[in-house]
A and B are shown apart, each in its own frame.
Chain A
């Protein structure tokens, strides 16, 4: 009887897991295996024949200046995005938490961009950065900066894109920091005050910053992964330009695969992209998840 029940449970479990397993195979596991395999051939979309090429595509990629430019731009974008996001989000979180009865209003205001349609807001930002009519351009000119086409210059385009990206997600990181701040026991602040931490800055250094370290690390890794996957703003606003100065990894992969139809080469870029994301995720798991138990 018991054995029969166990067999029934076994069969039911397989039935329940079957749709997920099939879809997982078809849309994730087989494709990432296939993309790795294609990257070792010279196959092109629509071609009937192909031949095994070993690591030829990877050699070509590592010799290609555009690939290195694209990788460098992606890391530069990340380098603008992550530190600025953390500093601004943390500052906002602390200020909002200290603001008393208006706290809810401020939190809503800062979070609102997260609820927008990103591509639409990218278009709005382009208008705001318009070299003649843009609100931001005019405001920056008013405080003494030169009148520039910030999205149109090689030196500033990544910074401008990072600023747009930060604006879109800042409220999300702020909310994560607020959750972290609320988990700090009040007594620690009282103890610090007794020990002579009289100014807000010293309380921050003594209590907030060390207690918030896990949250900060968490936000840093999320911001890192999200910024590494920058695509929308580039695809809509700059298309990698001017002269490849905003070419980023995902956009390069997209154009190689679907504009130039160099399927095998694009596959090798995908593999590199995927490996970097794996590496970040593994570091994240090592750093952050000793405390989370998957039983």
Chain B
């Protein structure tokens, strides 16, 4: 066998293995979509048709939207993740700037405390925070879903690392131009940190869109449920064994983030990779 033939064979083998692996990894998604198009008898027949033989797409999706407030869940998920992100940035940007660029007493202690908070798993404060929210009557509110996450040690640390790389001259130039200090922070420094902010945004939105632990604790009514919380509400009660409608619901809930990923892959991957720093 010639060398080049051997190499080509290896190449084909590699692609065969990768193609099979990709198919296996994507199969749950493919199967979810496929099932969401099928009639119940076809699903129950146990036949494994990738392309449905009898289509019931409209019925299944209509049922998913009709029996379960799935669009409401999506709206809640959007409101909660967007509000958390906005607050996190509003709090983290000035704090990170103070850590990276200002000289003050207490800076080292503040940084040390941030690093300490970075180690605390987000489930650890849950019981006392719940008690606090319960005491002030805030259970089953957007506030309960959002406020506990407004402080992100990870966001502050990440932005501080980024701000450190911004040259001081940029800030001095702003001062010489007569800009106010807050204008320098929000209009000069913050736009420069756009890549870090976008990466953090991806990380934060994915984390909070997907979070089940906290919504399970503070939300007991479907009106306020985020998608994961909503699925737990309705999975068994409403659908029973109507897998077609149930898969339609999972498709609807899964679609937005998947589309976002396909549209902005690079940033998405960067954001996720950065979350490795937190663990």
Contact = CB atoms under 8 A, between A and B. Distances in A.
Given A113-B25, A114-B272, A123-B231, A133 B43 contact: yes
Given A106-B18, A124-B247, A170-B25, 17 more contacts: A16-B98, A16-B185, A19-B91, A117-B250, A133-B46, A138-B48, A222-B276, A225-B279, A226-B279, A236-B231, A254-B213, A258-B130, A263-B131, A274-B120, A277-B119, A294-B111, A294-B115
B189 to A, nearest CB: 11
A109 B31 contact: no
Interface string A33-56: 011001000000100000000000
A59 interface: no
Interface string A254-294: 10011000010011001001100110011010000000001
A194 interface: no
Interface in B249-276: 249-250, 253-254, 257-258, 260-262, 265, 268-269, 272-273, 276
Contacts of A28: 117, 120, 125, 151, 153
B128 A31 contact: yes
Nearest to B230: A119
Interface string A158-199: 000000000100111001100100000000000000000000
A253 interface: yes
B176 interface: no
A258 B123 CA distance: 13
Interface stretch (A63-71, A72-80, A94-102, A202-210): A94-102
A274 B149 CA distance: 18
Interface string B209-248: 1101100110000000001100110010000000100110
A150 to B, nearest CB: 15
A148 interface: no
Given A138-B48, A175-B269, A167 B18 contact: no
A15 B123 CA distance: 29
B35 interface: yes
A250 B217 CA distance: 13
A116 B257 contact: yes
Contact of A116 (B29, B48, B103): B29
A160 to B, nearest CB: 13
Interface of A: 6, 9-10, 12-17, 19-21, 23-24, 26-32, 34-35, 38, 45, 92, 95-96, 98-100, 102, 105-106, 108-121, 123-125, 127-128, 132-133, 135, 138, 167, 170-172, 175-176, 179, 218, 221-222, 225-226, 229, 231-232, 235-236, 250, 253-254, 257-258, 263, 266-267, 270, 273-274, 277-278, 281-282, 284, 294-295
A273 B210 contact: no
A102 B272 contact: no
30 contacts: A12-B102, A13-B107, A20-B156, A21-B110, A24-B113, A29-B117, A95-B17, A96-B18, A98-B14, A112-B29, A114-B261, A115-B206, A116-B257, A117-B253, A119-B227, A120-B254, A121-B250, A121-B254, A125-B28, A128-B28, A138-B46, A229-B123, A236-B231, A236-B235, A254-B213, A257-B126, A270-B126, A273-B124, A277-B120, A294-B115
Nearest to B10: A200
Among A13, A108, A121, A175, which residue has the most Cβ atoms of chain B within 10 A? Answer: A13
B128 A6 contact: no
Contact of B147 (A27, A133, A257): A27
Binding site secondary structure of chain B: helix
Contacts of A222: 276, 279
* Interface size, B (range): 35 or more
Contacts of A34: 127-128, 131
B18 A95 contact: yes
Contacts of B1: none
A99 B18 contact: yes
Given A117-B210, A120-B254, A16 B273 contact: no
B250 A258 contact: no
A24 B117 contact: yes
A53 B145 CA distance: 33
